[in-house]
Structure 1
Amino acid sequence: MEIKPKYGIGDFTFGMKADQVVAKLGKPDKMYQDEDDENQVLYQYNQHKLRLTFYQDHDGKLGYIRCSNPKLQFQGKPVMNTPIDKVKDETFSSLIEEWEEEDYDFFVTYVNEENWIVLNVEYDEVTEIELGVPVKNDDEYDWK
């Protein structure tokens, strides 16, 4: 699975509808409504280690992706279970120069809002990546 900043991961691009995803992957292993935001419906695919969030207030479009699939790559380079310094300084260096770091005691997140990418890190290795649909301005998404 290839990370495509501002577009999605693999065949899953921002703006897709749930039925398009189901046509590719089948019925999700788990489907639930976000407790904090009732306008978001999440599909989880265990085998692919993939969670997809559909924004109901935007015609049910795919707007957020979380993935911990060990085959996840960016420009052919592995991301999962790779040391964070290597991912920041080598893998994403052609795209991202600066990351905002937030330390939560036992895990750390590295965020780049321009590309709306979050790297979740435990034990100094990337354990999950989050991608969000880019924002044009304060209240409008860039659905490409």
Structure 2
Amino acid sequence: MKINLKNGIDKLLFGMLQKDVIALYGKPTKSYKDEEENVILLYNDQKLRLTFYVEEGLKLGYIVSSNEKLTLSDIKIIGKTMDVIQKELAPKGLTSWDEESFDTYENYFNEDYWMIVQTEFGYAVKVELGAIISKDEFQWKFNSK
């Protein structure tokens, strides 16, 4: 599963509607609404959590994945230490990371690409990717029909 910075993950593009995602991956394992009424679809087999923002016409705006096959520029992410990830991604332009720690987790946030790599016990366990916002507007990458 390829991380496409500013665009999405795998075949998923920011701005897709639920019907577009279901056409690609089939029925989700589970769906629910969060406290803000956003729709969340879970795909257990792909290890994906997809958030569709209610205030944006239920467009896909946030993707969370723990899939072991996640790659960024052909670099595997899950299961590596952040030191190794940073060293491997630096030549690709990902050099700025803000760190936040809580409990057993550390979040490493790259604002330019709205990406978080979460580690636990020193190893990457999850990647979060959000749609880019520019001038207070989402930069959608998919035009639904």
Q: Which of the residues 88, 103, 106 maps onto 1:105?
A: 103
Matches of 2:90 and 2:119 in 1, distance apart?
Answer: 15
- Work out the percentage of aligned pairs sharing the same amino acid: 39
In the alignment, which residue of structure 2 is the partner of 1:12? 12
Q: Report the secondary structure of 2:104's partner residue.
A: coil
Deviations 1:19-75 (A, max 9, x none): 01101111111101012x12x100000011001111122121110000000011011
Q: Report the secondary structure of 2:46's partner residue.
A: coil
In the alignment, which residue of structure 1 is the partner of 2:33? 33
Contact 1:53/1:63, CA 8 A, preserved across alignment: yes
Q: Report the secondary structure of 2:100's partner residue.
A: strand
In the alignment, which residue of structure 2 is the partner of 1:44? 42
The root-mean-square deviation of aligned C-alpha atoms, in Å, is: 1.1
Deviations 1:62-105 (A, max 9, x none): 10000000011011111111111111121354121110000113
Name structure 1 gaps, 5 residues minimum.
none
Return 90-99 or 52-61, whichever deviates more: 90-99
The total of aligned residue pairs comes to 141
Matches of 1:121 and 1:55 in 2, distance apart?
Answer: 26
Matches of 2:89 and 2:47 in 1, distance apart?
Answer: 21
Q: Report the secondary structure of 1:31's partner residue.
A: strand
Q: TM-score, with normalisation over the residues of structure 1?
A: 0.93
Q: Counterparts in 2 of 1:1-144, with a 5 A limit? A: 1-35=1-35, 37-38=36-37, 40-91=38-89, 93-137=91-135, 139-144=136-141
Query: Which AA in structure 1 matches 2:99?
Result: E
Name structure 2 gaps, 5 residues minimum.
none
* Structure with greater helix percent: 2
Question: Which consecutive segments of 4 or more residues in structure 1 shift more than 2 A?
Answer: none
